[in-house]
Structure 1
Amino acid sequence: MERIRLGNTVFEGRNNAYLIPGDRPTLVDVGVATDSVRHDVRDGLQAAGYEVSDLEAIVLTHWHADHTGLAGELQAESGASVYVHADDAGIVAGDPEALAEERDIRDRRFSEWGIPDGPLDEVTSFLDGHDELQGDRVDVTPVEDGDRIAAGDDELEVVHFPGHAAGLSAFAFDGDDGREAFVGDVILPKYTPNVGGADLRVDRPLETYLDSLARLADQNFARAWPGHRDPIDDPAERARVIAEHHRERTRRVLSVLDEHGPADAWTVSAHLFGDLSNIHILHGPGEAFAHLDHLVAEGVIERDGTEYVAAAGDVAVDELVPVPETKR
């Protein structure tokens, strides 16, 4: 397996694509649709002795443009089959109904979160101004949890980990040191994947993501190959650390409501993260919403219109935000 490092000047952090050589050359994730990333992909393939035309399969961890943008043009050149989880297939394929649904949910959430006009115009312009990064339409083959995909000289197993995105999936394989996986943005080595803003279609986003972290820890992967930055040598421990981060953030959200009274998601986000710009105008209140939504569902706080109101009494945050136990 060869890691191909991709630039990313639009969104945060460098991306990774992974080439699986063998009888069925396979690329895992493809990067955003920009000229510089096109060169990165081609140079990486050539360094490993391959051309785009050699690809027979492209496997996508989730629908975000920095993972899927080049899939359409690479497929057109190579004839490769493109696999993505069924929950993300419509968006990757450019299906008008799927795209309209995502846009409708986005508009509704922005209104519910209370984003002021200035930041609202900024984030809307940012999102609508980068439509071309999604690239060409793709003929996708939807997959589900537990499916197996022929890749290289072996197979990849689909392991569904929703939360950051509805269809986010890892692709597990037998590595030199045990079972490993390409994990996309399920876990990342340096920062925590956004939950709540990264895919507005996800119901109960925090609970969904915490369940995925627990499931990942149970997989006991020897190594994880993330969508950004370097490999993770103890994926279960990283999942535990991220869950602890969300436990602490839940405490901070409760503190904001206790100290400042009823507030909408935008106001809570401002207390958590301060001033925000471009994509963070989506991710900040989205993350605040994920925690507020979780607390409402657990009966800890109440929602009154667009505002959230703290309830009296102590809150057992450790029970609300479970942290997976890891095997040593």
Structure 2
Amino acid sequence: MQLAPGLHRVGNDIIAAYLVEGDGGLTLIDAGVAGQYSDLLAELKAMGRSVTDIKGVVLTHGDSDHIGYAERLRSEHGIPVYVGEADAARARGEESSHPAWGKARIGATTGFLWYSMRKGGMRTKYLTEVIPVHDGDVLDLPGSPRIVALPGHSAGSIGIAVPAVDALFVGDAFTTRHVLTGKRGPQPAPFTDDQDAARESHAKLATVEARWVLPGHGPAWDRGTRELAAELARADATA
């Protein structure tokens, strides 16, 4: 789905990854779950592109529903995969975190789990090689993505700012559609390791200029980072 010129979503409101068009090809942000590889191929075809146009994958963090087909792209096509240094071990399957689920509704939770399993969420292949990145790094990839540290959901969670498409990709720094309750609108994401750090990252979003703020779960936000940070501050206060 094209969101704006040069900006495409792969997947849906349940689990999403994104493609950025830039000079020399494409940058893929996150890699959903394994079975969404077919969704990636379909979006590339609609764009008149192919997998070989992807020059790099940048992961917002190392959870299984964000790394789904990243290793396939790396091992079969030689596409490098970047991740925040503190999440490198998680992306390689060497460590994980299992915070409390918190509030949940049967319908929303069942829908998320069913979709994830149907799309190969249990077939995740962890990365065997990753390139660690750090706050402030500008990667030599299409769109010149800049790394913004957003710890909280995980220690190595990052945002990826791409001014060329006026966008900030945030993974699970927050959500606009809670996968366990179905609640919509900007709010803290479930399965977050450190809620205090996440709140600090929510406030930090206002310092990054971008119209589009794109989470891994839920509809895209297109009203800018400052309004988003204000919405999240209200949501954090009642969480």
1:222: Cα distance to partner?
Answer: 2.9
CA 1:51–1:233: 2 relative to 1, 3 Å: same
Q: How far, CA to CA, are the matches of 2:160 and 2:206 in structure 1?
A: 15
Question: Which among 206, 218, 231 is matched to residue 241 of structure 1?
Answer: 231
Q: TM-score, normalised by structure 2?
A: 0.76
- Segment drifting more, 130-139 vs 80-89: 130-139
Q: How far, CA to CA, are the matches of 2:154 and 2:8 in structure 1?
A: 23
1:22: Cα distance to partner?
Answer: 3.0
Q: Could you say which structure has the larger radius of gyration?
A: 1
Flag the structure with higher strand content. 2
**Aligned partner of residue 195 in structure 2, secondary structure:** helix
Q: Which residue of 2 aligns with 1:22?
A: 23
**Aligned partner of residue 65 in structure 1, secondary structure:** coil
Q: Which residue of 1 aligns with 2:152?
A: 163
Q: TM-score, normalised by structure 1?
A: 0.57
Q: How far, CA to CA, are the matches of 1:86 and 1:18 in structure 2?
A: 22
The RMSD of aligned alpha carbons is 2.6
CA 1:49–1:41: 2 relative to 1, 3 Å: same
Q: Which residue of 1 aligns with 2:189?
A: 194
Alignment partner of 1:214 is 2:213: no
**CA deviation string 1:172-212 (max 9, x = no partner):** 12236xx53122222333342325x333xxxxx22211111
Q: Which residue of 1 aligns with 2:169?
A: 182
Q: How far, CA to CA, are the matches of 2:55 and 2:128 in structure 1?
A: 14
CA contact (8 A) 2:188 2:236 kept: no
**CA deviation string 1:286-312 (max 9, x = no partner):** xxxxxxxxxxxxxxxxxxxxxxxxxxx
Q: Which residue of 2 aligns with 1:317?
A: none
One-letter amino acid matched to 1:181: L
Q: How far, CA to CA, are the matches of 2:202 and 2:173 in structure 1?
A: 8
**Aligned partner of residue 221 in structure 1, secondary structure:** coil
User: Structure 1: any 5+ residue segments left out of the alignment?
Assistant: 114-125, 200-204, 250-328
One-letter amino acid matched to 2:8: R
Identity of aligned residues (%): 28
Flag the structure with higher helix content. 1
CA 1:236–1:187: 2 relative to 1, 3 Å: farther
Runs of 4+ in 1 over 4 A off after TM superposition: none
Question: How many residues align structurally?
Answer: 209
